[in-house]
Structure 1
Amino acid sequence: MKKKDCSMEEVMNLLKAPFPSKDIEWRVSRCGITNGKPWAMVLAYVTNRAIQNRLDEVFGPAGWKNDFRDFMQGILCTISCYVDGEWVSKSDGAEQTLFESLKGGLSSAMKRAAVQWGIGRYLYNLEETFVEVFSERRPGAIRIKDDKQKVYGYWIPPQLPDWALPENERTGMQSSSSSQSQNLNGRAQNQQQQRGNQNKQSQGFNRPGAVKAIQEYLKNTGLAEHPGWIMSLFKKINPTIKQNSLAEVFEKATEEEMKIYYSVLRPVNDLIVVANNYKVSLDDVLHYVQILCPTVKVENLFSCFTHVTTDHVREIVQMVKGDLKNGHIQQIA
């Protein structure tokens, strides 16, 4: 696939080419039970090994490199490729939790960085796909076990449409796939242009990603149900804040301000993650917070904001594991 005399347009076409179905993996994005029947919505992803092979094929094993570094308590991956006599770099990152393996965090960050090069970007055109969840195991089925939604069983990965497959795998049975692909590609290009305009506001700053993370933490911690409290907290964290609403914060706050809000919300969110992961009560987790922060009156989760740090969370994880092993606390159903 590598061509020394390829134009940049040809190189990009090689990078953007659809992957064989064997290089695509499907993951559950959400699931539930409706009228007594379990279901799941799934999304397609390209495997990290396929991305590496694609880079080898287009640029050669010595024609690309990657670099990882910590960024906003996540992992930022930069993929650099040797193009027209110089190294060109593109970056993106993935959030890392206390319970995600380092390998998983690195893989996720590299997949997102690869999209910046056009690799696997066409998969963004695929919307969530509904799959049936059944109790018996079948050939090719993938297991699902979601204790939160109480969805258990197996599901079969969907078949990719023709436009998302290389020519040798296309069935020719989808007559509307061409126009569908054009429409989806046009929408994807518009979305990418919008992201590019947003990224110009701050080099290397993924504002949509930061907003999404903060929104998730506000929801998980219960702050989203008290909008007035959110701005009060942000003003306490950042007395020089210029925005008057959460919408203005998401639109106009600087990268450094977003980092500050993120760093305060993240540890409190992780307290919930600890409780859920080890199946212990939140009251038990808050008890450990009180031990580590004796000068703070810990009455509820909201009491932890501005006091609990990621170091505290790491200590609490060890305390929970130790007390579970010694029988000092019990797991809940």
Structure 2
Amino acid sequence: MKLDGRDILKALSEPFEDHEIEWRAQTCNQYGNALMLPYIDARAAMERLDKVLGVNWKDQYREITMNGKQAFQCELSIKIADEWVTRTDGAETTDFESVKGGYSSAFKRACVKFGIGRYLYDLPQFWLKIEKSGSVYVSVKNGGEKITGFVNPPSVLEIVTGSKPKPQSQPKQPQSQQAQQPANQNQKASSDHEKAIKAVWGQIQDGNIASNLIPYFLERVGCNSSDLKDASMEQLERIYHAISPVNTYLNVCRGYNLSLEQVLYYSQIVCKTTIADIIALYFLMDYKRTEEAIELIKGDYSKSIAQ
């Protein structure tokens, strides 16, 4: 049975499951609370299009200029009743973000025009307490001070639908306590591993890192595979901490509106070597060097303001 246009738009606009929602810290207040923004990544949007439309969608891109800056425009088309309907949007990119990042942002904005994830813009503000432990890591600036920690976001699905997410089904009659305990432990280990993979993917997407670089990260931590699923918890943690400081550094650079030349300039000072491009940062920068580079930027910025 073919869906009509109204049915298709309704299906595309359905809220996402909580595990499909990502969170980003926008700012922090003096009380130690972070303003957290829920969003979906491009992969989740693609999966929604596949689920609803199968092969009946397509996307095209072209490079444009917005406000004098390089940008990308996405033409997203879906097939309704044998006719193609197209909606278009674009997104700017900075000097040091990859082309992939521009494509991804433009694609997600075009998806919103078909209702995918649009409801997220209507949610209330989420000011969440930054704590020592939690499900989502945050790194955000409060004035000139960087605050890091964890937050525990609420269930967006529960807020939108007014009902609690269905709990995972449990076995009706466990054979024995001894048999159930190892099974629960295995489930927890599997769940923790999936969360670790998701955290690494989040960092990869935040940094707009090309997927063909993943094998290099895996090789760097001693994993003889090209798939994150084959990495151990320890290896995933090491990859996360290789990517996270660079993403923090780039976010600060964006905040100060630095050019690519300036981004590389400050990183070369702390790394004490020549750096040709942004990708090299992921193999050279660590938390300590990131902090040093940020302090240099803040120092120079303060001087320029004073002058």
- Residue in structure 1 matching 2:107, options 94, 110, 113: 110
Identical-residue share of aligned pairs (%): 32
Instruction: Output aligned runs, 1:20-31, within 5 Å.
Output: 20-31=17-28
Q: Take 2:254 and 2:266, find their aligned partners in 1: how far apart are those partners? A: 8
- Say which structure, 1 or 2, has more relative contact order (CA 8 Å, 6+ apart): 2
- Residue in structure 2 matching 1:6, options 3, 24, 29: 3
**Partner residue in 1 for 2:156:** 160
Asked if residue 50 in structure 1 is aligned to residue 44 in structure 2, the reply is yes
Q: Take 2:255 and 2:89, find their aligned partners in 1: how far apart are those partners? A: 33
Q: Give the C-alpha shift of residue 169 in structure 1.
A: 2.0
Q: Take 2:116 and 2:61, find their aligned partners in 1: how far apart are those partners? A: 18
**Partner residue in 1 for 2:91:** 94
Task: Give the alignment's TM-score, normalised by structure 1.
Answer: 0.49
Task: Give the alignment's TM-score, normalised by structure 2.
Answer: 0.52
Matched positions, count: 192
**Partner residue in 2 for 1:208:** none
Larger radius of gyration: 1
Q: Take 1:115 and 1:164, find their aligned partners in 2: how far apart are those partners? A: 17
Q: Give the C-alpha shift of residue 98 in structure 1.
A: 1.8
- Residue in structure 2 matching 1:68, options 54, 61, 68: 61
Asked if residue 122 in structure 1 is aligned to residue 115 in structure 2, the reply is no
- The alignment's C-alpha RMSD in Å is 3.7
Q: 1:166 to 1:25 in 2, by over 3 A?
A: farther
Q: Give the C-alpha shift of residue 97 in structure 1.
A: 1.0
**SS of the residue aligned with 2:33?**
strand
Q: 1:53 to 1:100 in 2, by over 3 A?
A: same
User: Could you tell me whether the CA contact under 8 Å between 1:19 and 1:165 is conserved in 2?
Assistant: no
User: Could you tell me whether the CA contact under 8 Å between 2:25 and 2:138 is conserved in 1?
Assistant: no
Matched to 1:68, the amino acid is: Y
Long gaps (5+) in structure 2: 168-248, 274-292, 300-307
User: Could you tell me whether the CA contact under 8 Å between 1:64 and 1:82 is conserved in 2?
Assistant: yes
Give CA deviations for 1:68-101 in whole Å, capped at 9, x if unaligned.
2222222222211122212211111222112333
**Partner residue in 2 for 1:143:** 138
User: Could you tell me whether the CA contact under 8 Å between 2:88 and 2:110 is conserved in 1?
Assistant: yes
Q: Take 1:323 and 1:56, find their aligned partners in 2: how far apart are those partners? A: 46
Q: Take 1:28 and 1:107, find their aligned partners in 2: how far apart are those partners? A: 19
Q: Give the C-alpha shift of residue 15 in structure 1.
A: 0.9
Q: 1:10 to 1:167 in 2, by over 3 A?
A: farther
